[in-house]
Structure 1
Amino acid sequence: MPNVHVRTIVVHKAQDIPLVKENYDADVVTDCWQEAVADPQIQVIHNCTPNALHDEINLAAIGAGKHLYAEKPMSLTTAGAEEVLAAAKAAGIAHAINYQCRMNGAVLEMRARLRRGQAGRPLYVGGQYLQESVARKTDYTPRRIPETSPARALLDIGVHWADTAGFVMGCPISRVYAKMYTHHPIRIDPETGREIVVRSDDTTSVMVEFADGTPGSALFSKCMLGHKNDLRVSVSGDEKEFAWHMEQCDRLWVGQRERGNESVYVDRNTALPEVHPYIHLPAGHTPGWMDALTNAMQAFYDSLNGEAYAREKVPYATLEDGVMGNRFVDACLESARQERWISL
């Protein structure tokens, strides 16, 4: 990343410090996150710690006047997320949450075309986010299936669909009707044979309504064999449909009636002008997941120049979007419990 120097890396275990020092170019390697937050030479904190630490570190970083690039969820609760957002606004810092899927070039192109009205009036938003990592009863690790979390597929991957769909639509989801499924209520630890009671979702299906009234639906699952990292978002309008598939992330599918459907290779020759800064490779050099992450971080650091983040609408996801992610998860959980529509 140009003009960005890694001052400190915080590791989980002290015994990892020598190896990290050997392999990474950082001034300081420590196992104490408080040391990084207190360092006056550090301007930005990237919080990619375990979920249980997010609240404390986010608030500490903001309190120290650091800009914040946070992993999801920004808090374990919606109330906590709102507290973090309020603190960030009061401090006047730049803030981001790592919903990087929206920063794929083809997603940005889809959003730009929708904003120009090329799909006509949106009629329906669809999609899915499917993985296969815990399809079998013995696909258990404490990281994959935390015993204390009430949401899993919904929290881990569903929020990415919700953010990407809301981003391309230009308005957030306003209410949901969700159904959650635990396919393996008892999991088996393959290393110890221990049985683990599971209460979080392996699969969630959800109907949604966006703030402009557009309906939609999506399926999130970590139990769908053959689906490695299968995020899809589609917007069907009365003129065209636009669809994006992350496993073919450089393509934008265009459905139309008067002529043949198109699979548009999104490069600088086909993309709209505002998308050009986020397309770095020549045609045929396929971008991937890392390119979206790079776009998100580069946009974040660019916004620090002259404090542009305080004056302009930024393309990357902010903590405001993080609060919406928390609200989406909570609303889906409540909807599944009550079996009715719940507003965010």
Structure 2
Amino acid sequence: MDTIKIGIVGGGFIGPAHVEAVRRLGFVEVKAIAGSCEERAEQKAAELGIPDYYGDYRELLRDPEIVAVHNCTPNDLHFEINRAIMLAGKHVLSEKPLALNSRESGELLRLARSSGIVHGVNFNYRQFPILQQLSAMVERGELGDIHLIQGSYLQDWLLYDTDYSWRLDPKIGGATRAVADIGSHWCDTVQYVSGKRISEVCADFSTVIPVRRKALQRVTTFETSAAEVAAGSETDAYEDYEVETEDTASVLIRFEDGSKGSFTVSQVSAGRKNKLSFELSGSRQSAFWNQEEPQKLWIGHRDKPNEVLLADPSLFAEEARGSIHLPGGHNEGWPDALKNNMLQFYTFIREGRDPASDAMPFATFEDGHRSMRIVDAILSSHQEGRWVKVSELL
């Protein structure tokens, strides 16, 4: 296979990031984009230099030249569009969450298994070079037996009562917000690097701002604040909006092997822009990583000075070197982890590998369904005030 031609569905915050990432590969061409209407799709296609555009994703799926499709739409459309992509016989890379609940994600997984297509979910944090190195260290036993994992994922983009996004609407974003949006990333990342599986959870949610002031003018996630929109208006530009989903959540976790952990997620923590962090405590060493300083891995010792490993291919284990593309000191960050995810996905397709028998070196619908089961278990735990086993969910 020479150039792989693909389509993008969704032109909001994450869609253009996918376009930029795949274009860096050199062997993938973005042939078309579909938006919520033809006018918006045409505008986004012009901005991004994409040849074809559609106001309906189903028209894009009828293009015989398109081999794979990225689903970059809001959460409530993930199930419908992922299903349609697979039924059209095309490979699919979906944004997370895979669906709104584990019932839907389970159906998508069954269809993916039976269709023979390559399926991926954009849990791109596991593709950071330093986390590939940490995974190799854990696999080699350098940390010893890991008995505790703790951390958090903190943001501040919903700190003010004038901050609003479609993610706040449970009909679009789902019944849980902070947990599904960023907690899912934390859970996938720590399970990947530790090799452990979350089996049971106990959660407590908090809605810090129960009533928000929603801007009457459309605001795009992360791009323009509602306060800036209102400042440019001569009239009252807000309406009250009652919030039904959580701003923060604290979760106790148990892993299948009996080890323990905990994490907190928040979208109202001032100054924390995108701080996903965690610490693994092992019988020989500890390791700490913070996504806002992605080139550094802190390694803790009992009987000698602690260390900070900087991302450098010459210092990495052989199995982790393929994830880092520049010499030490040339920082690689979030866009590079996203590109790594695309590289793994499209290399798998280009080499004609079989998703039924070959290991897929990226997050798949298996991981997406596991994530939805964990998210649903966390939501049930908060609602029922008890520990909930992930196995209780389909």
TM-score, normalised by the number of residues in structure 2: 0.84
- Aligned pair partner of 1:58 in 82, 94, 100: 82
Segments of structure 1 that go 5 or more residues without pairing to the other structure are: none
- 2:303 and 2:196 map into 1 onto residues whose CA distance is 29
Aligned-pair CA distance for 1:334: 0.5
**Are positions 1:182 and 2:228 aligned together?**
no
- Deviating 4+ runs (over 4 angstroms): none
Name 2:369's counterpart in structure 1: 323
Contact 1:154/1:204 (8 A) holds in 2? yes
Question: Per the alignment, in what secondary structure is the counterpart of residue 238 of structure 2?
Answer: coil
1:96 matches 2:142: no
Q: 2:386 aligned with 1:340, yes or no? A: yes
Determine whether 1:220 maps to 2:244.
Answer: no
Quote the Cα distance in structure 2 between the aligned partners of 1:261 and 1:297.
Answer: 34
Partners of 2:289 and 2:298 within 8 A in 1: yes
In the alignment, what sits opposite 1:205?
250
Match of 1:146 in 2: 169
Aligned with residue 155 of structure 1, among 160, 170, 180:
180
Cα shift at 1:11: 2.3
The alignment's C-alpha RMSD in Å is 1.4
SS in 1 for 2:168: coil
Counterpart contact for 1:10–1:30, Cα < 8 Å: yes
Identity value in percent: 36
Give me the whole-angstrom Cα distance separating, in 2, the residues matched to 1:171 and 1:282: 31
Shift of 1:294: 0.4
Partner of 2:218: none
* Contact 1:150 1:201 survives alignment (8 Å): no
Given candidates 134, 148, 160, the residue that maps to 1:110 is 134
1:128 is the counterpart of 2:159: no
Query: Which whole-Å deviations, capped at 9, do the CAs of 1:44-70 have from their partners, x for residues lacking one?
Result: 011111212111111111111111101
SS in 2 for 1:6: strand
- Corresponding residue SS for 2:60: helix
Aligned to 1:280: 325
Contact 2:37–2:56 (CA under 8 A) maintained in structure 1: no
Cα distance, 1:208 vs. partner? 0.5
| Paired AA for residue 215 in structure 1 | K
**Quick one: which amino acid aligns to residue 31 of structure 1?**
G
Alpha-carbon shift at residue 331 of structure 1 (Å): 0.5
For residue 68 of structure 1, give the secondary structure of its aligned residue in structure 2: strand
CA distance in 1, matches of 2:160, 2:48: 36
Q: SS in structure 2 opposite 1:247?
A: coil
Work out the number of aligned pairs and report it.
343
Residue ranges of structure 2 left out of the alignment (5+ in a row): 1-24, 216-229, 231-236
Query: What displacement does 1:103 show?
Result: 0.5
In the alignment, residue 303 of structure 1 is paired with which amino acid?
Answer: F
Residues 290-305 of structure 1 mapped to structure 2, 5 A cutoff? 290-304=335-349, 305=351
Q: Does 2:125 match 1:80? A: no
Equivalent of 1:259 in 299, 304, 312: 304
Q: Which amino acid aligns with 1:131?
A: Q
Contact 2:42 2:54 in 1 (8 A): no
Q: Which amino acid aligns with 1:224?
A: S
SS, match of residue 258 in structure 2: coil
Amino acid across the alignment from 1:118 = E
> Structure 1 residues 81, 260: CA separation in 2 closer, same or farther (over 3 Å shift)?
same
**1:231 pairs with 2:276:** yes
Q: Which amino acid aligns with 1:280?
A: H
Letter in 2 for 1:182: T
Once residues 315 and 131 of structure 2 are traced to their aligned partners in structure 1, the CA distance between those partners, rounded to angstroms, is: 13
1:15-94 paired onto structure 2 within 5 Å: 15-94=39-118
C-alpha deviation, 1:110, in angstroms:
0.8
Q: Which residue is equivalent to 1:167? A: 192
Q: Which amino acid aligns with 1:254?
A: I
In structure 2, the residue corresponding to 1:314 is in which secondary structure? coil
CA contact (8 A) 2:156 2:272 kept: yes
